[in-house]
Amino acid sequence: MFNNLSDKLDKALHLLKGHGKITEVNVADTLKEVRRALLDADVNFKIAKDFTTRVKEKALGQDVLTTLNPGQLMVKLVKDELTELMGGETAGVNLTGSPTVILMAGLQGSGKTTFSGKLANYLKTKKTKQVLLVGADVYRPAAINQLQVVGEQIGVEVYAEIENKNPVEIAQNAIAYAKANGKNTVIIDTAGRLAIDEALMTEISNIHKAVTPQETLFVVDSMTGQDAVNTAKAFNDLLNFDGVVLTKLDGDTRGGAALTIKSVVNKPIKFIGTGEKMEAIDVFYPERMADRILG
């Protein structure tokens, strides 16, 4: 995960090792390399620049911890800043409501269906919830099939109406079904498109208004870098979603999406997907991720 970024930051921070003290010159050299590493990871220019400006101010400030040598100090400052950039605290999921309604939004191929299954499995096993998965993709019968396969695999019931082409109605009917059948958590998997288009946005917005979910999670493929960030912005402008799910972090992703999404949409990353299996889901911990990046 983020191997390239980790290597480059490691090299940048090595520049300070062996120096007796922090000076403006060696800080500037190090931070130039840190900024380059961030840009290479597909972090946008302004965010990378602000990042290094903040680290510089802290490094040259009077109140730095003097028990650390310059190399250790810079690692700590960069780690703290990475943690902040990714949201600081871990954000929970709102499981109130009866039933709790969780709506998935995102482009086709982002990993919505897979993640719906993973989340259902997670809530069922870790939080002992009675989950109903809902297939609201009325365009691709294969998508409903895929959800049914996932449901069978994890032992979670799937609600679908093959003949009904109205996703708002399906979502509403599913919630009524959940209430009548003792399910306290409803996860609605919606249709995606290859790119943002108006019809898709209207549809997801209509479902959102009709079911007033406790959690609207925006699912995005981390491999798509800055595109992921732009898509997140468009979906957030429309839905004011509650959190982000970053998928495919097991792949060779550069890290830009993980590092920038929070500061662009001001919504936390709540979960990450780290593989195709149903168990490949993790709660997102900014500090742990910063630790991993710095190796």
Q: Which stretch binds ligand GDP (CB under 6 A): 60-68, 74-82, 92-100, 110-118?
A: 110-118
Structure tokens at 141: 């019968």
Query: What amino acid is encoded at 155 in this protein?
Result: G
Interface with ligand GDP (CB under 6 A), residue from 274, 278, 284, 290: 274
- Which of 192, 225, 243, 255 is close enough to bind ligand GDP by CB under 6 A? 192
**Is residue 108 a contact residue for ligand GDP (CB under 6 A)?**
yes
Binding status of residue 270 toward ligand GDP by CB under 6 A: no
When binding is defined by CB under 6 A, the residue of 6, 39, 64, 109 that contacts ligand GDP is 109
Answer yes or no: is 290 a known binding residue: no
Task: State which residue, 101 or 191, has the beta carbon closest to ligand GDP.
Answer: 191
Q: Cα(125)–Cα(117) distance, rounded to whole angstroms?
A: 12
132 assigned binding-site residue:
no
- Is 110 part of any known ligand binding site? yes
Asked if 251 touches ligand GDP (CB under 6 A), the answer is yes
Whether the Cβ atoms of residue 267 and residue 14 lie closer than 8 Å to each other: no
Size of the site for ligand GDP (CB under 6 A): 19
Q: Is 135 in the site for ligand GDP (CB under 6 A)?
A: no
88: contact with ligand GDP by CB under 6 A = no
The verdict on whether residue 113 carries a ligand-binding annotation is: yes
Burial label for 92, CB within 10 Å (0-12, 13-18, 19+), is: exposed
DSSP state for residue 66 in the 8-state scheme? T
Question: What are the backbone angles phi and psi of residue 18, rounded to the nearest 5°?
Answer: 90, -15
Residue bearing tokens 């998935």: 104
CB of 280: closest distance to ligand GDP in angstroms? 6
Determine the interface stretch with ligand GDP among 33-41, 61-69, 229-237, 269-277 (rule: CB under 6 A).
Answer: 269-277
Q: How far is CA 221 from the centre of its chain?
A: 9
280 touching ligand GDP, by CB under 6 A: yes
Out of 52, 83, 100, 113, the residue judged to bind ligand GDP by CB under 6 A:
113
Give the CA angle between residues 218, 222, 223 to the nearest 5°: 140
The minimum distance between CB 195 and ligand GDP, in angstroms, equals 13
Among positions 208-247, residues that touch ligand GDP (CB under 6 A) are 247
Q: What are the start-end ranges of the H helices in the chain?
A: 3-14, 24-40, 45-60, 70-85, 112-126, 141-154, 167-180, 198-211, 225-239, 256-265, 286-294
How many Cβ atoms sit within 10 Å of the Cβ of residue 256? 26
Q: How far is the CB of 90 from ligand GDP (least distance, A)?
A: 19
Say whether residue 263 binds ligand GDP (CB under 6 A): no
Rounded distance, CA 285 to CA 270, Å? 8
Place of tokens 């958590």: 185
Is residue 250 part of an annotated ligand binding site?
Answer: yes
Residues near 21 by beta carbon (within 8 Å), at least 6 away in sequence: 70
Cis preceding linkage at 268, omega within 30:
no
Nearest to ligand GDP by Cβ — which residue? 273
| Residue 130 known to bind ligand | no
Distance, in Å, from the CA atom of 251 to the CA atom of 281, rounded to the nearest integer, reads: 14
- Binding of residue 184 to ligand GDP (CB under 6 A): no
Residue 250 contacts ligand GDP per CB under 6 A: yes
What is the contact surface with ligand GDP in residues (CB under 6 A)? 106, 108-114, 146, 192, 247-248, 250-251, 273-276, 280
Binding residues for GTP: 106-113, 189-193, 247-250
